[in-house]
Structure 1
Amino acid sequence: METINHFLTQASDFLWGWPMIILLLGTHVYLTIRLRFPQRKIFTAIHLSVVPDKDAKGDVSQFGALATALAATIGTGNIIGIATAVSLGGPGAVFWCWLTGVFGIATKYSEGLLAMKYRVKTAQGTMLGGPMYALERGLGWKWLAVLFAVFAFMASFGIGSTVQANAISVMAEEGFGISPWVTAVVVTLLVSLVVLGGIKSIAKVCGALVPFMAAFYVVGCIYILCVNGAFVLPAIKLIVVSAFSSEAAGGGFVGGSIIMAARYGIARGLFSNESGLGSAPIAAAAAQARNPVRQALVSATGTFWDTVVICALTGIVIVSSILMHPDIDYSHGGTLTKMAFSKIPVVGTPFLSIALFTFAFSTILGWCYYGERCVEYLARRKPNTAVIAYRAVYIVTVFVGSVVGLGMVWNLADCMNALMALPNLVSLLLLSGVLVRETRKYLWEDRLHEWSSDHK
């Protein structure tokens, strides 16, 4: 087992090294330029996300699809992952993470568009879509579509169920002294009640949970920034300056490499918002939208909320807290967030615990949906039987993850996430002509109100 874990660690480091970072970020920039900066329509997209197209084909509302995607995307990585980036790359990593989110909006837009363009309707009347359908129907590469579905299926048991359940269990034991076995039973029951109801149940719960947890976290961060008031502007200045300077930062920080800040900030941003990984478009395909571009815009807001807002707030909270309390040991990313938030009187620790629980629980729900859709794609002859079996196994892995150490599973999940990205990026780049054509028709020519013949 130790040998296998060592191999997975090396594989993860290789897959998430500079080649993957350059490929993902390069795709973000390329699509941003080719699609004429769809980021400028972000406020239009936010408006569309709360205005349902009730008469359009689909399983859930546009907001329901977005909430499901955000549930899977906004996880413990938004809190602990940012701290890890700061500990390894210095405060400048926060800037690079934020910048990755800005450019990643174009990629998330593109993924959502292709998901809607190439989705299919099953015999049961449900909508299925995602990179596997874009690869098969758009490019005719079924073998690559199958590979994506297999990688995403395997990833769902890592980053989706076991790892998140373990995070909840560890938080409950360290913060409140609750036995992992008690946590395992409670979390497993809660997950079972939701996932057994399928996409509509998942979307309904996510639609209620995601706005609450996001608003709760944003308000909490704003409160903490008020407490750290005198250090907020110095923290922002430090984040920006450190992104382009290797000089000693002061205030408890030591000098860092610009390359290290960029590497860990970009990597964390890419991993956090999942733009380019191909997971979010699986949920986008279920949306009720009158044309593909409307849902593409709605999908793009996921990266905006995840990285441009939540990750940025987390980074400023952490850096300002370290400036306020230079005694904090920021060299260990795993404990940095807890130490930074615990310095806040009264609310710090309970706030962090609630945030971690809601983020992790929502990720479990979102990734269960992703896994289900991949199983349906792979098991077309008996999809219902395969989905029922998948749900049962998924629920079991939630219980197992709550009580077992998961170092090897983390590494396996990282590998699967990277392997998912490769087929998805192929579809985005090779079908960029389709993206331009659809974007020109509905967005550039200001025809967002029009209905597509495939979606009415």
Structure 2
Amino acid sequence: MGGFLTMVENINNAVNGFVWGLPMLILLVGTGILMTLLTKFFQISHIKHWMKNTIGGIFTNSHITAHTGKEDMQISQFQSLCTALAATIGTGNIAGVAAAIAAGGPGAIFWMWVVAFFGMMTNFSENVLGIYYRRRNERDEWCGGAMYYLRDGLGSKKGCRQIGAALAVLFSVFCILASFGIGNMSQINSIAVNMGSAFGIPSFVTGVFLMALAGLVIVGGLKRIASVTEKLVPFMAVIYLIGAIIVLVVNANQIGAVFGAIIKGAFGMRAVGGGIVGSGVAMAVQWGMKRGVFSNEAGLGSSVMVHSSSNVREPVVQGMWGIFEVFADTIIVCTLTAFAVLSSGLVDLNTGAVLSDKVSTALVAEAFSTVFGGAGSAFIAIAILFFAFSTVLGWSQYGSKGFEYLFGRKAVKGYQIIFVVFIVIGATMDLSLAWDLSDTFNGMMAIPNLIGVITLSGTVMKITKNYVDRKIHGKDVKPMLSALDDIQELHEKEIC
């Protein structure tokens, strides 16, 4: 058995090295650059518009937060954002940022920002395609995601029908496998370890409690998940941000030095960790990009599955929520975590060397403890509890949609039950191999998804231009809202 596990680990390491190697990261960022160029830097050129119609609209537009009727299986735009953020704001925003700093130095944060900037338009494109190609199931629920725009979008191109269908199946399989790993067991294990070290709570007790709590939410379906996340996500984000801002304010005299260390580390003006400058830059680039992608998931095709369930009609409107999702996750939450760590004195800002023997979550906890004392570790443990548990709720929906695509809606309840049971397993087992496997499957989701986004980039460009012409420039043109409308119009012309 040990030999078999070793063989599996060796194979996984080889695959993981390819999936998350520099070429793959360049592909992810390259897709974001392509979509940024095709949409004429929408995230910058129309920043006032998308800010007004996302976070600004929460306070001025009741339609954004209005709940749908009991029998209506759609969810509001705000609920779709919160459910998506529930899955993306997780341990990566705490442990992932600390890992990036430890491996790539302060300069890694700059490249994390670069990934986020271009990732905004990757996420935008996924959501535009998700809304445009979504379908309703027999319960009148919206079903959308990479599997649908691969099958119906890429598959509609000449000679690509079988390729689109095959890639849709592969994406769904990878999504289901990743949901049990990075979306479930690894998150729960992080909670159990932190609750054990901070409060002495046995892992099994944590697992059983979270299994019961998650079961009440997950088995209730998307509307119940959305109802919980729209309350949990704002609460957990605000509490964590307040804590990080307090750390930053206390260490305000270090802000200038932190900025300097990030910029200098990013471009090799100083060696990272005392190493060679060129090697330091490469590590900063690779770790910054890698943790940035893991944090906001832009390019993986995950959050589009819940964004597609929104009650919105305009694809670009939901696309703008995708821009804000990446902005909130990486530019705000990850940045504040990074500044809290870098300003705490635990990192040598001249060399980038970590001066503590703590790693991952423990490094962030130590940074908070420099201000809050012993309560710092407890604060981070509770933050991990909220962040990781919300990730479990979000990923349960992703896995459900992948399972539904492969086996039909009636089979989803079985998946949800198994998913909930795995929570106890995740809390009590050694997850070193499971973490690596889930990283691999999570990354492999990106391959078919990016193929879909790139091949359908012209469609995204047309839909975006159509929206800008109508809503911003006031032109009288026919809206592009759904591929179903276009198919129906083409069918009517053929009949005529």
- Whether these two folds match at TM > 0.5 is yes
Q: Establish whether residue 439 from structure 1 lines up as the match of residue 464 from structure 2.
A: yes
Q: How does 1:37-436 map to 2 (within 5 A)?
A: 37-40=41-44, 41-49=46-54, 50=58, 51=61, 52=63, 59-140=74-155, 141-248=164-271, 254-255=274-275, 257-322=280-345, 328-329=355-356, 332-333=359-360, 335-346=362-373, 347-380=375-408, 383-384=409-410, 386-436=411-461
Q: How many residues align?
A: 450
CA drift at 1:444: 4.5
Look up the equivalent residue of 2:454 and give its one-letter code.
L
CA drift at 1:290: 2.8
2: CA distance between counterparts of 1:327 and 1:451?
54
> Residue 58 of structure 1 contacts residue 289 of structure 1 at CA under 8 Å; is this kept in 2?
no
2: CA distance between counterparts of 1:195 and 1:46?
31
Match of residue 32, structure 2, among 3, 28, 31: 28
Look up the equivalent residue of 2:137 and give its one-letter code.
T
CA drift at 1:305: 0.4
CA drift at 1:315: 1.0
Look up the equivalent residue of 1:439 and give its one-letter code.
T
Structure 2: unaligned runs, 5 residues or longer? 156-163, 486-496
Quick one: structure 1 residues 20 and 415, their matched pair in 2 at CA, closer, same or farther if it must change by over 3 Å?
same
> Residue 74 of structure 1 contacts residue 272 of structure 1 at CA under 8 Å; is this kept in 2?
yes
1: CA distance between counterparts of 2:358 and 2:103?
7
> Residue 231 of structure 1 contacts residue 323 of structure 1 at CA under 8 Å; is this kept in 2?
no
CA drift at 1:332: 4.0
Per mean C-alpha deviation after superposition, the further-off stretch among 119-128 and 38-47 is: 38-47
CA drift at 1:263: 0.9
Per mean C-alpha deviation after superposition, the further-off stretch among 196-205 and 349-358 is: 349-358
1: CA distance between counterparts of 2:243 and 2:335?
14
2: CA distance between counterparts of 1:42 and 1:117?
22
1:254-284 Cα deviation digits (max 9, x unpaired): 3551111111111111111100000011011
1:138-158 Cα deviation digits (max 9, x unpaired): 111111101101110110000
1:306-351 Cα deviation digits (max 9, x unpaired): 1111111111111111368898326844642233223223342222
SS in 2 for 1:415: helix
2: CA distance between counterparts of 1:453 and 1:81?
37
Paired-residue identity, %: 38
2: CA distance between counterparts of 1:329 and 1:165?
26
2:160 match: none
CA drift at 1:446: 2.7
Per mean C-alpha deviation after superposition, the further-off stretch among 9-18 and 27-36 is: 9-18
2: CA distance between counterparts of 1:327 and 1:91?
10
SS in 2 for 1:139: helix
Give the TM-score normalised by the residue count of structure 1.
0.93
> Residue 300 of structure 2 contacts residue 443 of structure 2 at CA under 8 Å; is this kept in 1?
yes
SS in 1 for 2:274: coil
Look up the equivalent residue of 2:289 and give its one-letter code.
I
Give the TM-score normalised by the residue count of structure 2.
0.86
CA RMSD of aligned residues (A): 2.3
Look up the equivalent residue of 1:115 and give its one-letter code.
G
Quick one: structure 1 residues 186 and 268, their matched pair in 2 at CA, closer, same or farther if it must change by over 3 Å?
same
> Residue 441 of structure 1 contacts residue 447 of structure 1 at CA under 8 Å; is this kept in 2?
no
2:491 match: none
Quick one: structure 1 residues 281 and 404, their matched pair in 2 at CA, closer, same or farther if it must change by over 3 Å?
same
Look up the equivalent residue of 1:223 and give its one-letter code.
I
The structure having more radius of gyration, on CA atoms, is 2
Quick one: structure 1 residues 451 and 215, their matched pair in 2 at CA, closer, same or farther if it must change by over 3 Å?
farther
> Residue 58 of structure 1 contacts residue 287 of structure 1 at CA under 8 Å; is this kept in 2?
no
1: CA distance between counterparts of 2:304 and 2:317?
13
CA drift at 1:241: 1.4
2: CA distance between counterparts of 1:445 and 1:452?
10
